[in-house]
Each structure stands twice: as structure tokens, then as C-alpha cells.
Chains A and B, each alone.
Chain A
Amino acid sequence: MFNNKEKKPYGLIASFKNITEACDAAEKVRDAGFKRWDFFAPLPIHNIHEIMGLKRSKVSVITLFGGITGFCTGMSIVYYMNAYDYPLIVGGKPFFSPIFPFPVFYELTILLASFGAFFGMFLTNLLPRHNHPVFNHEPFSKASDDGFFIAIECRDPLFDKSKTETLLRDLGGTEITLLDH
């Protein structure tokens, strides 16, 4: 119980009326220099990386590694199985060539690259995570329906409870709440 005083709250969350107001507010929060903040929207917004000042996603790198692994796996299983471990004579053709098993490593490249994209999405987003402070905010259940929210974390160096609250209010935020961990 006595730990509660020392534990910092998660941050401030504000609701916004519609997508236009929320995006305008997000641009202002970005320009104010906050780094640890988030914008919740029930839909993918076209140019969200510009609005929030985000970097290019790392998912593509993970996908590339998946693809390279798939290509190499495909090549090596064909070489190992048909040319090394059990050399298979079919019509007097060479035991190994990069041409005949083309479909095999083509499909494996796609398969492992897709796994890279799929798990890359979870990895970069740090999901699955079923508990999060925002879920304790009652109106937040609208975030997947038609609610738009901006949350600024206490960990951000620019965070100051009263100033940040005023900023969010000035930007048109309502139901501004301090979220606990």
C-alpha cells in the first residue's frame, strides 16, 4: 500500500470529438515536442506517420530477414535431400541445379517472409498485451468504435500535470483523466 505514493501514474488521456479535431490536436502535441505519447483511433489514418512524426516501421526489415531465411532453407533442403543425403537420379539430370526446385524455394521465401511480416507486427507493437492502463479508462471502450483519444505519458520529460492538462484542453480534449498504472 505504501508504495502507491511513489508510483507515478501512467499519464493523461483526453477524448476528441471527431477525426479532424483529433488529428489537428495530434499535430500540435507532436510540435510541442512530446515523445512518449499516443494517439488512439478506430481506423488506420492515411498519413499517420506524418501527423505523429513517427519513423518508418521496422516490420519490413524483419520481413526481409524472413524472406532470406526462406530462400536459403529452400535451396539447402533441396541440395541436402536430392544431391547429398540421397542422390536421386531422375532422367540423367544433374543432382542439383537452382532451376528445377525453383517453386520450392520461391514458396518458402514467401512463406517465411510472411511469417516475418506477421510476427514482425506483433514484435514491433509489443503485442499480445492484454493489460494496459488505457483499458481502465471507462470511455476508452469507444476507441475501437468511434472514439479518438490522445494519451501523454508521465515518463515524457516535457510532462507537467497542469501544463499538459491545459494543453490538451486547449486542443479541444474532453474527459481529461489521469490514468493509474
Chain B
Amino acid sequence: MSAHTDESALADPALLAKVDPVTLPKPALVENEHTLHWVTERVCTIVEDSTPRWWWVCFILACAMASFTFVGLTYLVSTGVGTWGLANPINWGWAIVNFVFWIGIGHAGTLISAILCLLKQKWRTAINRAAEAMTIFAVMCAGLFPLFHVGRVWYAWWLFPLPNANGIWPNFRSPLEWDVFAVSTYFTVSCLFWYMGMIPDLACLRDRAKKTWRKYFYGVLAMGWRSSSRHWNNYEMAYILLAGLSTPLVLSVHTIVSFDFAVALVPGWHTTIFPPYFVAGAIFSGFAMVLTIMLPLRAIYRLHDIITQRHIDCMCKIILGTGSMVGYAYAMEFFIAWYGANPYESFTFVNRAFGQYAWAYWIMVTCNVISPQLFWFKCIRENTALVLVICMFVNVGMWFERFVIAVTSLANDFLPSSWGYYSPTIVDIFTFFGTFGFFSVLFLLFVRFLPLMPIAEIKAITPAGTPHPNPDTNHL
């Protein structure tokens, strides 16, 4: 009987009219109800103010660091690939490890700019420009390694399907050739997406420019953008299409990178879990890198109203999620090694954990599986310094993951008589160390000369940029 009375009460229109619908407050994406002009000022002054002293210090340090790569590569080219620590049976050493490491870092940028755009995750706007810049610079660092790994770098163009004097063409059955297509497409599309997203903001910098060189520099780059809504209509269509195209692209790039390993017959490489496992790992390491870069920038430029605690929370949760996937993949590799009953496969995995490279394996597990689990706790996600430290751990762990995969499998493969132990030489170390400098040089130039954040898109998620702010329609 009571159920019947409840139903009739619900259906009573007079009573319904009296009830106010519950409005759940949504956390603001840009805090403190700022005006549109405030957003312009906040982002443009980063580029327009005189160069801060910290920038010069960092820039000089970064150039000095980048020179290590230059020295390493010059020595390599003038002497030969023998200067790297590669020797039978380990012919894929640091160069491949570093390639996979850097390209993985790039993936978070595309994930933020494309996948989160399609999923309508509006918090992405604050970090998307810097993350895309990170993608492009990381892919540039990544590209250096396979480029020089070919040995005679002046023949690297043979990788592309161009007619050459030998009259032969690339072998399209090779995953290494797929890599050429995947990585070069990834780099090109990332550049297009990054630049197109920047056009309205470059126009904003052009309109504010006082000096002649600035007027020309930003004027040419802005392509005559005049904020016309007819243009915005086409622009938004192109933007969503590029997001839709970048999504399968980013998933395919690391899948193809994993094919470099998975298509080989070496135990520890020849597994079907590699594509999803590599993609999850790439996003995991990339988000750690985004936070490593954005947290100091947020503090230096006091961007706390644009990159809010909610942003940090979201990124920490993605790191936690993908970190758990990576941990699951490690466990599943062991399970399949046992379940598959292949003695070589099971030896490889036991050897990874307890063999000559056990130190690398346990660094990997500690950094990648254990450290991100701390993000379950809100107090840790709210402690910026701690978040930064954990992200550094993740970066280190993900480098070791690639080292464990590439090196341990090769060092102890089928024939014990050919087993070996790989160590990098000083040239390897110089080249890799310098890439962090190269990356930082590019990123510092980006911070100084280009809009760090998408000004127009941030305006669109503020209350002042919404035509009819109405809590019911929940436009934000």
C-alpha cells in the first residue's frame, strides 16, 4: 500500500511544480570567475614580458646539456657504430631503449589533445598546447636514435620509398619500415594539429604586438586570422577531424613500435600482449612527463587558476589507471610464460626477475607498479612536490621498462654459448643525456615565443565565454 501512495504522490503535478530540481555544483575549470581579458593577459604576458633571469639560466644549462648529444653523435659518425656498447648477441641497446622511451613520452600530448577532445574532457584545454609541444619535441629526440642507429646516417633516406642508384625499394613486410611511416606521420600530424590550434592565439599576440618584428613574426604565423565566426565554424570542424584522425594514429604508433619487438621470435618479445601494453605504458610515461613540466611552469607563472587542483587530480588518476594496466601486463607476461609451457619463454621471465639484470627489473617494478599506487590517496595528489617526485620515478621506471624488454631478452636467448652482458659506453650515455638538453632547449624556446596555453579555448570554458550561462543546460 505504501508503494502505491508514493507513486501517486510522484505523479501529482501540483507537488512536482513545488519541487526544485537538484543542481549539483560543477567544479570550475577556470577558477575565480575571471574576465576574457584576464585570460589574454595571463597567457600573452608570458611571451611579452622581458625574459626572466631563470629562463636564461635554464636555457644556457640546456644548451650545455644538448652539446653532449652533439659530441656523442659527432664521435659516433666520425668513428663508427662500434663506439656504442652493442656487441653480439645484444645488438639493440640504449639507442632503441631511448627511441621507445622518447616516443612513448610523446603519446600523452596526443592523448590530451585528441582523445580527451573527442571525449569532451574540457579540463584538457589548460594543458593541451604544452603537452602537444612536448609530443613534437619528444618525437624529435626519439627520431635521432634510429636515424643514427642505421650506421651510415647519410644513407638514412633509403628508409623512404625513394628511387635510389641500387634500383631497389624498401621491404614493406618489415616492422622497421612500418615504423618509418608511423613515426614520420605521427610527427607531421602532431605538427599540423599543434600549429592549427595555435593560429587564433598567434592572431591574439599579433594584435597586441608593439614591436615591428613581433608584428611580422606573429602576423605571418597567424595567417591573417580575424576571429570571424564563419571561420571558427570551419576551424572547429577541422579541429575535431584532426582529433578524430590523431586518435587512431596515436594508438597505431606505439602498436607499430611494439611490433618491432613482437614480430621477432626472441622469447620475451614474441607476445601478443605487446601493442596494448606498450600503448598503456606510453600514456603512463607521457602523463608523468606532462606533470613534470607543467608543475614547475604553473608555480613560476602562477597559473593556479587555469591549471587547478582538479587538473592535477585528473592527471594523477590517469597515471594511476595506466600504471595499474602496466602492472597487470607485467603480471600477465609471467602468467603466459608459465601457462604457455614454452621453456625458453619461462626461462626468460624468471631470468628477468632473478638473473643478471634483476637490478633493472626491480627498479622498473618499484617505479612503475608501486609508486603510482600512492595516487589512490587524495592527500598525496594534493601535495604538488610529492606528485612531482612520483612522476620522476615513473619517468625513470619507464626507461628501465624498455631497457628490461630490449636488453634482457637479447642477452640470454636460445643458446647459452652466445649469452652476453650489455653495458653502455660513454658515447651512449653522452648521447642520451644530451637529448634531455635538446628537449629542454626546444621547450624553453616554445615557452618564450609561442602561446603556452590555448587562449581562445580557455576563454570558451569560462562563464564569461558562454552565451547564456545556465546551470540547467550544464554547458560547461
Interfacial residues, chain A to chain B (CB-CB below 8 A): 18-20, 23, 26, 38-46, 48-49, 51-52, 54, 56-60, 63, 77-78, 81-82, 85-86, 88, 90, 93, 100-101, 103-104, 106-108, 110-111, 113-115, 117-118, 120-122, 124-125, 127-132, 134-135, 141-146
B456 lies within 8 A of A42 (CB): yes
Point out the residue from A39, A100, A104 that lies within 8 Å of B229, measured CB to CB: A39
Total number of residue pairs linking A and B with CB closer than 8 Å: 204
Residue B211 lies at the interface, judged by CB distance under 8 Å to chain A: no
In the assembled complex, the Cα of A101 lies from the Cα of B196 at a distance in Å of 30
A115 lies within 8 A of B228 (CB): no
Closest to B259 in A: A103
In the assembled complex, the Cα of A86 lies from the Cα of B241 at a distance in Å of 37
Which residues of A are found within 8 Å of B193, using beta-carbon distances? 114
Which residues of B are found within 8 Å of A134, using beta-carbon distances? 226
Residue of B235, B464, B475 contacting most chain A CB atoms (<10 Å): B235
In the assembled complex, the Cα of A35 lies from the Cα of B178 at a distance in Å of 49
**Nearest CB in chain B: distance from A174 CB, A:** 17
Residue B385 lies at the interface, judged by CB distance under 8 Å to chain A: no
B459 lies within 8 A of A132 (CB): no
Beyond contacts A42-B455, A85-B169, A130-B224: 17 other A-B pairs, Cβ-Cβ < 8 A, are: A38-B228, A39-B229, A40-B227, A40-B228, A42-B456, A42-B459, A57-B234, A60-B241, A90-B173, A106-B252, A110-B185, A110-B248, A114-B245, A121-B196, A127-B223, A127-B225, A128-B224
B245 lies within 8 A of A59 (CB): no
Which of B93-101, B202-210, B330-338 has 4 or more CB atoms under 8 Å from chain A?
A: B202-210
In the assembled complex, the Cα of A67 lies from the Cα of B174 at a distance in Å of 24
B189 lies within 8 A of A111 (CB): yes
5 A-B pairs with the lowest CB-CB distances in the bound complex, closest first: A81-B169, A57-B237, A121-B238, A146-B36, A103-B178
Q: Is the interface of A mostly helix, strand, loop or mixed?
A: helix
Residue B192 lies at the interface, judged by CB distance under 8 Å to chain A: yes
Q: Contacts A40-B229, A118-B242, A145-B36: A107 and B224 contacting too (C-beta < 8 A)?
A: no
B207 lies within 8 A of A121 (CB): no
Point out the residue from A26, A122, A130 that lies within 8 Å of B219, measured CB to CB: A130
A-contacting residues, B185-200, CB 8 Å: 185, 188-189, 192-193, 196, 200
A-contacting residues, B435-476, CB 8 Å: 455-457, 459-460, 464-468, 475
Q: Contacts A60-B241, A77-B161, A86-B167: A118 and B192 contacting too (C-beta < 8 A)?
A: yes
Q: Contacts A107-B185, A143-B207: A44 and B252 contacting too (C-beta < 8 A)?
A: no
Pick 24 A–B contacts, CB within 8 A, sort by A.
A23-B467, A38-B229, A40-B226, A40-B229, A43-B36, A44-B235, A45-B232, A46-B475, A48-B229, A48-B233, A57-B234, A63-B241, A90-B173, A100-B172, A103-B178, A103-B181, A104-B177, A110-B189, A114-B192, A117-B241, A121-B196, A128-B223, A144-B225, A146-B37
In the assembled complex, the Cα of A51 lies from the Cα of B468 at a distance in Å of 12
In the assembled complex, the Cα of A100 lies from the Cα of B178 at a distance in Å of 10
Which residues of A are found within 8 Å of B234, using beta-carbon distances? 57-59, 120-121, 124-125
Residue B230 lies at the interface, judged by CB distance under 8 Å to chain A: yes
**Nearest CB in chain B: distance from A95 CB, A:** 10
Which residues of B are found within 8 Å of A45, using beta-carbon distances? 229, 232, 460, 467
Residue of A135, A142, A145 contacting most chain B CB atoms (<10 Å): A145
Tally of B interface residues using CB under 8 Å: 65
Which residues of B are found within 8 Å of A82, using beta-carbon distances? 169, 171-173
B185 lies within 8 A of A111 (CB): yes
B245 lies within 8 A of A41 (CB): no
A-contacting residues, B209-263, CB 8 Å: 219, 223-238, 241-242, 245-246, 248-249, 252, 256, 259
Interfacial residues, chain B to chain A (CB-CB below 8 A): 35-37, 40, 161, 167-173, 177-178, 181-182, 185, 188-189, 192-193, 196, 200, 203-204, 206-208, 219, 223-238, 241-242, 245-246, 248-249, 252, 256, 259, 455-457, 459-460, 464-468, 475
A100 lies within 8 A of B173 (CB): yes
A81 lies within 8 A of B467 (CB): no
In the assembled complex, the Cα of A51 lies from the Cα of B230 at a distance in Å of 11
In the assembled complex, the Cα of A100 lies from the Cα of B459 at a distance in Å of 46
**Nearest CB in chain B: distance from A100 CB, A:** 5
A145 lies within 8 A of B169 (CB): no
B249 lies within 8 A of A110 (CB): yes
**Nearest CB in chain A: distance from B302 CB, A:** 20
Closest to B232 in A: A44
Point out the residue from B167, B207, B236, B246 that lies within 8 Å of A145, measured CB to CB: B207
Which residues of A are found within 8 Å of B219, using beta-carbon distances? 130
B181 lies within 8 A of A118 (CB): no
**Nearest CB in chain B: distance from A27 CB, A:** 10
B185 lies within 8 A of A145 (CB): no
Residue of B35, B193, B232 contacting most chain A CB atoms (<10 Å): B232
A103 lies within 8 A of B182 (CB): yes
**Nearest CB in chain B: distance from A171 CB, A:** 14
Closest to B241 in A: A117
B252 lies within 8 A of A107 (CB): yes
